[in-house]
A and B are shown apart, each in its own frame.
Chain A
Amino acid sequence: MGFELTQEYILGHLNYWLFSVLMMTGLYIVVAKGNLVKKIVGLNIFQTSVFMLYISMGKVTDGTAPIFPLDMDVDPDVIYSNPLPHVLILTAIVVGVATTALGLALIVRIQEEFNTIEEDDILKIERAIVQTENAIHGDAMGGRA
């Protein structure tokens, strides 16, 4: 009985499990990886998990594709899936693509200016800049840049 319930519970919420795993994987990559491109990949996985959450919520049990017949003669017994979340996520996908494009463009510029796309190296370069600034501007004021 308990097992039955658990199995049903696990399978019944499969989309939510997958959503959580993907979401956490994506977030982890964003936080843990030092390579800027890998961070964007993580961000993409994170966003994709949300697409999945939306798309799976639009599924109605036994529902078919929400396309009406040409003659608009709709059979009241046919169950249709909910198309709205799918439409919403089309917008979110566009936003995701734009974010990725912009992120990659920024990385190209960072590569040009810093000659690296590793976070650790960039931090080192920036720390060196701050130290120079402190030497010029900080000591006079007794503060830190």
Chain B
Amino acid sequence: MSAESTHVAMTLSDHLPILQILVPLVSAPLIVLIGSRRLTWSLAFIASVLSFGIAILLLMQVIDGSIISYQIGGWAPPLGIEYRVDATNAFVLLLVTGISTLVLPYARESVKSEIPAKHHTLFYAAFMLCLTGLLGVTITGDAFNVFVFLEISSLSTYVLIAQGSYRDKRALTAAYDYLIMGTIGATFFVIGLGMLYMATGTLNMADLADRIADQGSNRTVRAAFAFIVVGMGLKIAIYPLHLWLPRAYTFAPSAVTVFLAATATKVAIYVLLRFTFSVFQPSFMFEVNTLEFIILPFAILAMFAASFIAIFQNDFKRMLAYSSIAQIGYMLLGISLLTETGLTAAIAHLFNHGITKATLFMGVGILALRSGGSFYNRIQGMGKSMPWTSAAIVIGGLSLIGVPGTAGFISKWVLVEATIEKGWWPLSVLIVLSSLLAVIYVWRVIEVLYLKTPLAGTDYREAPFSMLIPMWIMALACIYFGLATDVTLTASRAAAQGLLAGSAGMM
């Protein structure tokens, strides 16, 4: 009897990689089929907690540098689809499931106030599908599978953004614009994959890496690289391809914005990392040129242009959306340096910016819950009536600037270190200058919250605990990861080394 139960337990732990996807995937139709408004949220939350647990177990298995390869349906790679977990994507899986587990308790109140009750079941189903897609993109080792999961997450994202239409009808056009641009991006990505398949005859990432390394660069491979970078660029919102982002983030329901800002663009950056470093070799001249002469200037442009636009916003939520574009610039800058330190900075910033922006967007959602909007003159003086919410926003804001002692400082510090190491000190100056722009736009929020007199006749209650607690967990994480720098930096450095080792790191 006991032997049998250990056998079952072993089988289950062997199947963790597929369970990571199956749990949220199955929960989505289950939510719709059960259709009970009372159970909906609990089902989604349980599924999210389970996948968070699975992500922790997976990370524990691969933290020593080993790799889990899971064959779907027992079909051996490279012909069958393979799920491949290593330190890098286990880290991303943990980030995504962790954020979703924190966002769901927060979402409960927020969604109640923003979306009519009859749509709640479908909302949470779409949310779980979005989570499934993001996890699938991260865990899979098959290039075409990336596309399929990317579309699962994108389609549900469009639905989630459109749910903002009950507050502002512009959410519909925002979702439509994102649908058009997102589909063009995903289709570009598929064209790239098709060209890779033509050149190599395989779709397994590790196998692709080997065959591309063998045959070297040729025009098909170069064209494939260009299509994949532009396609993912649309999803990441690399500077000139960012047009969908501010509108989508501004008009989406608060909980959706928190989730997307902290995970969706981060997962897209992970895919870009996988393709530039694992599938293609960083030693290819065309790749070095692309990163140095195209991505790098656009990253710097994003850091300044988006920050400038953020300063002149008078809507807190929209300001944060523009700031996200600027912060994505820092990550791309780190990647385009093509050094270990640069990559470490990019991956650390990916994580740190995820928790920072989650804190801030949660804050916006809470302010909007009480005041009915996030315009500066709607929320002015709320620092007095809602001290806890405002304090967490200040912590998030400091982390966004990169004040020492917060998470944002660490990754920016490593980024500056990376530019100096490479001898490109003007870039270090630019990083500091653009951080000063962040000081301005964050100061405007602090000024509005604390120094302006509250609107007459408003005495807002502090937010419900179900929203405050997730927000403060995020805010404390911003401080914790700013003080305990070893945790993020060690993990990021391990991931960077794994990526730079190229296909060797994948095999």
Q: Which residues of A approach B to under 8 Å, CB–CB?
A: 23, 27, 30, 36, 39, 43, 46-47, 50, 53-54, 57, 85, 88, 91-92, 95, 98-99, 102-103, 106-107, 109-110, 113-114, 122, 126, 129, 133, 136-138, 140-141, 143-145
Give the docked Cα–Cα distance between A145 and B159 (Å). Answer: 25
**A85 in contact with B197 given A99-B179, A99-B183, A137-B314 (CB within 8 Å):** yes
Q: Is B370 at the interface (CB under 8 A from chain A)?
A: no
Is B197 in contact with A50, judged by CB distance below 8 angstroms? no
Is B194 in contact with A137, judged by CB distance below 8 angstroms? no
Give the docked Cα–Cα distance between A133 and B318 (Å). Answer: 13
**A106 in contact with B183 given A113-B172, A137-B376 (CB within 8 Å):** no
Per-residue A-contact encoding for B141-158, CB less than 8 Å = 1, 0 else? 000100110010001001
For A110, give the chain B residue with the smallest CB separation.
Answer: B172
- Across the interface, which residues of B come within 8 angstroms of A143, CB to CB? 312-314, 376
Is B313 in contact with A47, judged by CB distance below 8 angstroms? no
- Which residues between 159 and 197 of chain B lie within 8 Å of chain A, taking CB atoms? 159, 162, 165, 169-170, 172-173, 175-176, 179-180, 183-184, 186-187, 190-191, 194, 197
Chain B interface size band reads 35 or more
Give the docked Cα–Cα distance between A117 and B175 (Å). Answer: 14
Is B314 in contact with A141, judged by CB distance below 8 angstroms? yes
Q: In angstroms, how far is the closest chain B Cβ from the Cβ of A48?
A: 10
- Which residues between 409 and 440 of chain B lie within 8 Å of chain A, taking CB atoms? none
**A47 in contact with B183 given A88-B144, A145-B318 (CB within 8 Å):** yes
Is A95 in contact with B175, judged by CB distance below 8 angstroms? no
Question: What is the total of A-B residue contacts with beta carbons within 8 Å?
Answer: 99
**A92 in contact with B190 given A30-B180, A106-B175 (CB within 8 Å):** yes
Give the docked Cα–Cα distance between A64 and B172 (Å). Answer: 47
A85, A106, A138: the one within 8 Å of B158 (CB): A106
A57, A95, A114: the one within 8 Å of B197 (CB): A57
Is B180 in contact with A43, judged by CB distance below 8 angstroms? yes
Task: Pick 14 A–B contacts, CB within 8 A, sort by A.
Answer: A27-B184, A50-B187, A53-B194, A88-B203, A92-B147, A99-B155, A102-B159, A106-B172, A109-B172, A126-B170, A129-B170, A133-B375, A138-B314, A145-B315
Give the docked Cα–Cα distance between A27 and B191 (Å). Answer: 14
Give the docked Cα–Cα distance between A137 and B319 (Å). Answer: 14
**Given A36-B176, A57-B194, A95-B186, 10 other A-B contacts at CB below 8 A?**
A43-B184, A88-B144, A99-B151, A102-B179, A106-B175, A113-B172, A114-B172, A114-B173, A137-B375, A143-B313
Give the docked Cα–Cα distance between A54 and B385 (Å). Answer: 60
Is B315 in contact with A137, judged by CB distance below 8 angstroms? yes
**A137 in contact with B378 given A53-B194, A110-B173 (CB within 8 Å):** yes
- Across the interface, which residues of A come within 8 angstroms of B172, CB to CB? 106, 109-110, 113-114
Is A46 in contact with B314, judged by CB distance below 8 angstroms? no
A50, A126, A138, A140: the one within 8 Å of B190 (CB): A50
Is A53 in contact with B191, judged by CB distance below 8 angstroms? yes
Q: Is B69 at the interface (CB under 8 A from chain A)?
A: no
Q: In angstroms, how far is the closest chain B Cβ from the Cβ of A111?
A: 10
